Structure 1
Amino acid sequence: MRFSQILRFHLSNNKWTAKQQYVPKHNPVLEEDIKRLQDFLMSKSNIVVLTGAGISTESGIPDYRSEGVGLYARTNHKPIQHMEFVRFANVRQRYWARNFVGWPSFSATEPNHTHHAVARFEREGRIQSVVTQNVDRLHTKAGSKNVIELHGSGYVVKCLSCEYRIDRHEFQDILNSLNPEFRDAPDMIRPDGDVEIPADYVANFRIPPCPECNGHLKPEIVFFGDNVPKSRVEQIAKMIYNSDGLLVLGSSLLVFSGYRMVLQTKDLNLPVAIVNIGETRADHLADLKLSAKCGDVLPKLFNFKK
């Protein structure tokens, strides 16, 4: 049996284990803590929700920083730097080769109970909107309507030089046609979810130029070292101004674009609640902090059942 078949068999028969392997160690949540958060939400109707990688780990997408299970801890993987992607062809080549191999699994990821709970709270008028640091579109898949993708989306590819854009699924078809030798790509996915691509594959990986201007194509993601578009920052600031508080879910808030939202909320003397495994950058600013797995908390609020 080929390794790819073994891997698919393992994943299909151990879905829960595969999804939970990226969740950091945590203590059981106390019922009184769930009640405290429910009381916090019950007294408000215009909450802005900020979500981070910690809510997607339960869907099988690892975060970067969690002790023992994050990408930094398990692999030598480091996030792509914006200027390196822009300047160096070999960096773009390596990025797109890895992205191509991982896309089928990434795009097939399904939302979990937390995503569904947040979507329901929006339908019930308990929250105003969702600002997510994630690029996985899981909030949209779960049914949330008012979602701002703070760091962009992995589901759109854009040109760095003109206005050309293409759906990531369509772009995958193009990459498939240009790189037929990658048909054994599933073999390059390691059991820990990372991608290991032989150097000769990367060196021969072909990326199409922009069909309109011959420029370089990249996912519509704010890479490290790049800035969130000013218009998006202003839109979020306006939402916070018109809100009655902020709920942070599954984020350490170490990235400033998320931490800035907490600072803006506190500058307006509005309350902040945080649910996250372990410490965050803004614990000292929180009116309510639950050190817990989001999936142990959100589905239990307001008797929610998926």
Structure 2
Amino acid sequence: MNVGLTLRAAKGCWRVNLSQQCAHGSIGLFVPPSPPVDPEKVKELQRFVSLSKKLLVMTGAGVSTESGIPDYRSEKVGLYARTDRRPIQHRDFVQRAPVRQRYWARNFVGWPRFSSHQPNPAHWALSSWERLGKLYWLVTQNVDALHTKAGSQRLTELHGCMHRVLCLACGEQTPRGVLQERFEALNPTWRAEAHGLAPDGDVFLTEEQVQSFRVPPCARCGGPLKPDVVFFGDTVNPDKVDFVHRRVKEADSLLVVGSSLQVFVGHPLWEPLRGSRLAVSSCISYLCRLLLRQVYSGYRFILTAREKKLPIAILNIGPTRSDHLACLKLDSRCGELLPLIDPQ
């Protein structure tokens, strides 16, 4: 699964050259194997959707893998399975300029491809459900803007969106494409070769490649810039969480699409405790804060739906944290199954 990219400047124009494997085969590279669609399961999902009047759908990375965007957790094909690399940590990004430099260099190389990804049949199906009045609200954990590209409007991007950039000092928000132009102007002779795509729009570079990359500050106040997404170890905006809980309580059913709903146990966020001499109470306090931060991967919304006695269906290849709470579980490709459902 080696995917090669080369970035170079030629006559003032930046180009990303993708290997043939990446350009033509990446859509299937990051989707785990699944059994053929079971006609009986299709009928069950059709019945579930038909009975819903105010359906809330929550999507995860399993929707976007069919558009060629890798995820973290998928068996054999996710980032954790393919490499020993782990996602960037919020605290490291905020506190360390070299970490921001490395991140933005990687993101600069990966951005042309990441931003060019297009919706797949699952995104288009959910958008059509909204237009037809079946889908009451859509909550996505993805940061790729593919639901927006497909036309979804009744949408909450729980973890933000990579297509926006935020200043950590003044809060100014700008389009990511504008920042790409500033990167190009600051780094006219910078070159890099990368191998491997990561889930959040970046690629893998060596430390030597990164050292000469220049990162512009906020054009308004000079502060550091960050993509408008929730990095690991950060918290989702409480107002946004409350908003989604209200939408769940207003719904009459909940469909999970392409999400394992897992807490990231074993993630580098646990590293501060490794070899630590902290008191037991301090360790417990840290772990509680960690779980509260990570639990909003979506599981808490499932619990809210359960409390309201809403029927829950899950479409995801592989097990999820909430399978025991669902009245229907399907192991199929999202883009293969959702277009088969008539929302009317």
| TM-score relative to the length of structure 1 | 0.92
Task: Give unmatched runs, 5+ long, in structure 2.
Answer: 7-15, 264-294
Kept after mapping to 2: 8 A contact 1:273/1:288: yes
Distance 2:75 2:5 in 1: 28
CA displacement at 1:303 relative to structure 2: 8.8
> Of 95, 104, 108, which residue of structure 2 is paired with 1:96?
104
TM-superposition CA deviations, 1:237-295 (whole Å, max 9, x none): 11011110110000000142111110110011111110000000000111111122212
How many angstroms apart in 2 are the aligned matches of 1:291 and 1:283? 11
Matched-pair contact (CA < 8 Å) for 1:133–1:150:
yes
Q: Which residue of 2 aligns with 1:287?
A: 327
Deviations 1:197-245 (A, max 9, x none): 2322211111111222222110000001111001100110110111101
Matched, 1:84 2:92: yes
Q: What's 1:219 paired with?
A: 227
Matched position secondary structure for 1:181: coil
Instruction: Report the Cα offset of residue 129 of structure 1.
Output: 1.4
Superimposed CA distance per residue, residues 100-137 of structure 1 (whole angstroms, 9 cap, x where no aligned partner): 11000000000000000000111111111110000000
1:116-165, Cα deviation, whole Å (9 max, x unpaired) = 00001111111111100000000011111111100000000011121211
Which residue is equivalent to 2:53? 45
Q: In the aligned structure 1, how far is the partner of 2:118 from the partner of 2:331?
A: 24
Contact 1:102 1:189 in 2 (8 A): no
For 1:164 and 1:134, the matched residues in 2 are separated by 22
Structure whose residues are more often helix by fraction: 1
Correspondent of 1:148 among 150, 156, 172: 156
Instruction: Give the letter for the 1:268 counterpart.
Output: K
Matched residue, 2:252: 244
Residue aligning to 2:137? 129
Does structure 2 conserve the Cα–Cα contact (< 8 Å) formed by 1:7 and 1:191? no
1:10 positional shift: 4.4
1: CA distance between counterparts of 2:337 and 2:231? 31
Give yes or no for contact 2:5–2:195 (8 Å, CA) kept in 1: no
**Structure 1 87/191 Cα, relative in aligned 2: closer, same or farther at 3 Å?**
closer
Q: CA RMSD in A?
A: 2.0
Q: Which residue of 2 aligns with 1:206?
A: 214
Is 1:253 the counterpart of 2:261? The answer is yes
Q: Alpha carbons of 1:206 and 1:6: their partners in 2 closer, same or farther (altered >3 Å)?
A: closer
Q: Do the aligned partners of residues 103 and 6 (structure 1) sit closer, same or farther apart at CA in structure 2, a change above 3 Å counting?
A: closer
Following TM superposition, the consecutive aligned residue runs of length 4 or more in structure 1 with deviations greater than 3 angstroms are 2-12, 189-194
Aligned to 2:126: 118
- Aligned counterparts of 1:176 and 1:77: Cα–Cα separation in 2: 27
Number of aligned residue pairs: give it.
298
Equivalent position to 1:29, from 23, 37, 40: 37
Query: SS of the residue aligned with 1:130?
Result: strand
State the identity %: 48
Residue type of the partner of 2:220?
E
1:45-90 CA distance string (max 9 Å, x none): 2111000000100000001011110011112221111111111111
Query: Which residue is 1:188 aligned to?
Result: 194
State the Cα distance separating 1:38 from its structure 2 match. 0.7
- Determine if the alignment matches structure 1 residue 232 to structure 2 residue 240: yes
**Partner Cα distance (1:202, 1:105) in 2:** 19
2: distance between equivalents of 1:45 and 1:303? 10
Q: 1:68 to 1:81 in 2, by over 3 A?
A: same
| Separation in 1, partners of 2:5, 2:222 | 38
